[in-house]
Amino acid sequence: MKILLVEDDDILIKVLNKNLATHHYVVDVVKDGEMGWTYGSTFEYDLIVLDIMLPKLDGISLCKRLRTQGYTVPILLLTAQDNITAKVQGLDAGADDYVVKPFDPIELIARIRALLRRGSNNPFPLLTWGDLLLNPSTCEVSYNGRPLNLTTMEYDLLEVLLRNCQHVFSTEELLDRLWSSEEFPSEATVRSHIRRVRHKLVAAGAPHDFIATMHGRGYYLKATNTEESTARSPTSHASNPIDEAEIDVSLETLSDSPKYSPPADSQQQYLAFLNETWKTTKAKILDQIIVLLQTVRDLQTNQLKPQKQVQAQQVSHKLAGTLGIFGLNKTVQIARQLEYWLGGREPLQPKHAPLMKTLVMALQQEIEQTTIIQMSQVPNGQSPLLLIVSSDNDFNQSLAAVAATRGIRIEIAPLLDMAKALLTTESLFDAVGQNPDVVLLRLPTISSTSAVMDGSTLPGTNFWEILQILAQRYPELPIVVMSDRSELSDRLEVMRRGGKLFLAAPIPPEQVIDTAVNLLRGSEITKKVMILDDDREWLRTLPTLLKPWGFKVTTLADPQQFWTVLQAVTPDALVLDVNMPQISGFELCQILRSDPHWQRLPVLFLSVLTDSASQNQAFTVGADDYLCKPVKGVELANRILRRLQRVKAWAG
């Protein structure tokens, strides 16, 4: 699929190119609105991504011009302006969707997939043709259940054919769809890729003419029914399984990559990419802050001209978007505050200079102190969180550095602060921002341990009480205790108070983090959840509701597609609505329970029906749980997790 990216921020261009290429998108990039119009009106694209604040022609105006001239390609707007007015302007101009910077790369890719589905002949989340199945969410392809190992370009070729399965593609069309405007491969390259994809399909059991040739026209997917198959040209694969693509021996393009690795497996590579990018970006950002400092000086002396104020506002706007890429949320908020003040309707006055200077200096200090981008700053919603309860700053920093290389996010809470939080019955969620996956309690060194043991940490509280309260309040949370006191009595006390593991100090930080990682692996529960409901608006909210718990959610609105999607996704839990067109949730549950392979799959009903008869019928047909709408995300997540934990216990 081919995307036009109209964006003038070099850093954002680099990061977006990385993410889009990882998900098999071909990208053309232009840096101003006029070039966006030239490319958009000249070449064929599946999607256009526009920034709003662009040189020469802004994104809103470009969007309006494209729509006025009859271009129907989906348009996604990107901007750092997080306000209702900007969103309404963008959507009224003809945009199909709107994403605010900083954005989660996973969410952006999901929105792009949704827009492409909406404009496709195949609106379903999975692309199928006979026994061929392609999952755009995971970039996995299989034929009759057998996975196909495809290169990036081979995957792209197959996806184009599947999304337009009734269309015959000429080599020129495929060249335009699959390569950027800066590449100039020959038609022989297309034939070479067709040949290799055919070979892999045949090896998986597909017929030789699964990708058929219409001589003089191009390539298409062979119909799966006999009537259409016999209507094809007698010179096609039906009579001769060898065509010009089979005998072509053209060289592959050098840019074609080896077998694709799913995005979830490349988190560390992406983190390394961000850190490498930060090395060159940091200096450029500090240069931009010099512009803001000069603005403050001009403001102090009442010499700030309107055009300079507009320039400073644009710098702040760009900074908010750029810093968001690296997950530096605190700096994003400062940049947005600067943009707000600089973009006010009234010119700034010298009396505003102290506030502006405070904001700019705080922004500069935060950027100067950021030497490494950590996993905790990358917004992916999936990496585990380790809460360190320790007042030893050197120890905390050594762990943070190692955790970043292991894909572990770190949150640090001093011992005294944690004690206060627990005594005031404040939830751990409120104390550290979200529920951690593992807690590490660092017992103070021997020189200060006796004071802690005697209760001087907080009036009426000692270390053992902190551990016990934490363990009782969060019984399923693994707690690791680290201490340089390693006598039998100390170890016994840790276990009695609810500690999961005991580490004897001193111990290298690498070993501490590895212990946490192994503890996480031991308690991992697979979390693929499939949800079937004909209420599309409700379906759109569920992935967001369940995201904090790390669920991988597949939603489906058409019960007729249930069996195909079920076999492709192989979920760990299933959530069903009761009343759906043509097939009820009760009937689908009965079908599952009649199949030996799916008999143990946890099934939860989620329905507006609150009567006891409906609930009894659900359990009669084999349901594991029944919830009534509306439901809070935490309740639904906990119900699903309980079922998954029981399944794991049975398997063990």
Q: Are residues 534 and 518 in the same domain?
A: no
In-domain check, residue 261: no
pLDDT tens column, 449-464: 444 444 444 444 467 7
The model's confidence at residue 525, banded by pLDDT at 50, 70 and 90, is low
Residues 404 and 515 in one domain: yes
Q: Give the H/E segment covering residue 49.
A: strand 47-51
CATH of the domain at 145: 1.10.10.10
Q: What is the pLDDT of residue 293?
A: 92
Q: Are residues 10 and 49 in the same domain?
A: yes
Residues 6+ apart with CB under 8 A from 468: 497, 498
Check whether residue 206 and residue 101 sit in a common domain: no
**Residue 204 sits in the same domain as residue 146:** yes
Task: Please indicate, yes or no, whether residues 502 and 579 belong to a single structural domain of this protein.
Answer: no
Where among 89, 118, 147 does a domain terminate? 118
Distance separating alpha carbons of residues 147 and 130, to the nearest angstrom: 15
Report if residue 374 sits inside a domain.
no
Note whether 482 and 595 are same-domain residues: no
Same domain, 323 and 407: no
Note whether 114 and 8 are same-domain residues: yes
Domain-embedded: residue 253: no
CA–CA dist 578, 550 (Å, integer) = 26
In a domain, 256, yes or no: no
* Residue 491 maps to a domain: yes
What are the tokens at 425? 């019955």
Least confidently predicted of 23-27, 231-235, 507-511: 231-235
Domain holding 56, by residue range, is: 2-118
Strand partners, 129: 132
Q: Would you state the pLDDT for residue 125?
A: 60
Q: Are residues 511 and 611 located together in one domain of the fold?
A: no
Instruction: Classify 264 as helix, strand or coil.
Output: helix
3-state DSSP call for residue 501?
A: strand
Which of 137, 139, 95, 143 has its CA nearest to residue 117?
137
HSE-up of residue 188 (Cα within 13 Å, Cβ side): 7
Final residue of a structural domain among 475, 504, 522 = 522
* Inter-residue contact 55 to 299 (CB < 8 Å): no
Enumerate residues 6+ apart whose C-beta is below 8 A from 131: 143, 144, 205, 206
Instruction: Using pLDDT thresholds of 50, 70 and 90, give the confidence band for residue 245.
Output: very low
pTM score > 0.75 for this model?
Answer: no
Alpha carbons 176 and 551: distance in angstroms, whole number? 37
The label of the residue with tokens 């990882």 reads 22
Residue 603's pLDDT band, with cuts at 50, 70 and 90, is very high
Q: How many domains does the chain have?
A: 5
Q: Is residue 377 part of a domain?
A: no
Q: What one-character-per-residue DSSP string does 193-236 give?
A: HHHHHHHHHHHTT--TTSEEEETTTEEEEPPSSHHHHHTS-TTS
pLDDT score at 248:
33
Residue type, 609: L
Q: Is the pLDDT of residue 574 over 90?
A: yes
* Cis peptide preceding 384, ω within 30 of 0: no
259: in domain? no
Q: Which two tokens stand for residue 400?
A: 């943070």
| Total residue length of the chain | 652
* pLDDT at residue 231 tops 50: no
Residue that terminates a domain, selected from 314, 341, 369: 369
Q: What is the pLDDT of residue 84?
A: 62
What six digits make up the tokens of 102?
């900083």
DSSP assignment of 339-377: HHHHT-SSPP-GGGHHHHHHHHHHHHHHHHH--S--GGG
pLDDT digits (tens, 9 = 90+) for 54-91: 889 988 999 999 988 888 889 998 876 656 666 778 78
CATH number at residue 101: 3.40.50.2300
Q: Is 627 helix (H, G, I), strand (E, B) or coil?
A: strand
Model pLDDT, residue 456: 40
CATH number at residue 275: 1.20.120
**Two structure tokens written together for 414:** 């001093």
Among candidates 394, 306, 402, 395, which has minimal Cα distance to 345?
306
If asked whether residues 487 and 452 sit together in one domain, one would say: yes
Overall average pLDDT of the 285-292 stretch = 91
Residue 422: closest CA among 386, 457, 467: 467
Residue entry with tokens 């991504």? 49
The pLDDT confidence band at residue 224, using thresholds 50, 70 and 90, is low
Whole-angstrom distance, CA of residue 300 vs CA of residue 356: 10
Helix (H) or strand (E) holding 496: helix 488-496
For residues 134 and 149, state if they share a domain.
yes
Q: Which two tokens stand for residue 132?
A: 């061929």
In three-state secondary structure terms, 412 is strand
DSSP-derived secondary structure for 563-601 = HHHHHHH--SEEEE-S--SSS-HHHHHHHHHTSGGGTTS
**Within a domain: 378:** no
